[in-house]
């Protein structure tokens, strides 16, 4: 009887632990409009990203000084990424961590130059 109670307690503990682990692995919610700042060579470049998220499928529309561009995005837990070619054909890689209404990471252009990339969810 005592062994059964101990085994039950251990199984209950493991079930709760696995449930907590699974909930911590859920993807962040990033749908909405984000004000993005890229720090490039002593200047700040501003963009507005509108992210559409339906389950695991995500796209973003980037609005900046050079117009508008629709790009694919991915989210794995709290890790955001987007790989795309800009209007000039250069490869862009965004890697960021999501924490609530904030993302912080980097933008790498043509696998050469890396810049600080940050975003704040727009309140409007």
**What average pLDDT does the segment 17-45 reach?**
78
**Residue 1 scores a pLDDT above 80:** no
What is the model's pTM?
A: 0.76
Answer with the residue of higher pLDDT: 1 or 87: 87
Residue 119 pLDDT: 98
Residue 124 pLDDT: 66
Residue 21 pLDDT: 43
Residue 66 pLDDT: 82
DSSP string for the chain: -HHHHHHHHHHHHHHHHHHHHHHHTSPP---EEEEEEEEETTEEEEEEEEEEEETTEEEEEEEETTEEEEEEEEEETTEEEEEEE-TTS-EEEEEEEEETTEEEEEEEETTTEEEEEEEEE---
**Residue 11 scores a pLDDT above 60:** no
Q: Which domains does the chain have, with CATH numbers?
A: 32-121 (2.40.128.120)
**What average pLDDT does the segment 33-52 reach?**
96
**Residue 69 scores a pLDDT above 50:** yes
């Amino acid at each position: 009887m005592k062994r059964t109670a101990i085994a039950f307690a251990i199984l209950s503990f493991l079930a709760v632990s696995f449930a907590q682990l699974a909930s911590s692995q859920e993807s962040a919610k990033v749908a909405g409009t984000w004000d993005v700042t890229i720090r490039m060579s002593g200047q700040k470049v501003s963009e507005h990203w509108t992210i559409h998220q339906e389950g695991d499928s995500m796209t973003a529309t980037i609005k900046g000084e050079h117009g508008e561009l629709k790009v694919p995005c991915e989210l794995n837990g709290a890790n955001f990424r987007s790989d795309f070619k800009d209007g000039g054909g250069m490869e862009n890689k965004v890697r960021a961590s999501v924490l609530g209404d904030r993302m912080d990471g980097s933008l790498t252009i043509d696998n050469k130059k890396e810049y600080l990339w940050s975003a704040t969810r727009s309140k409007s």
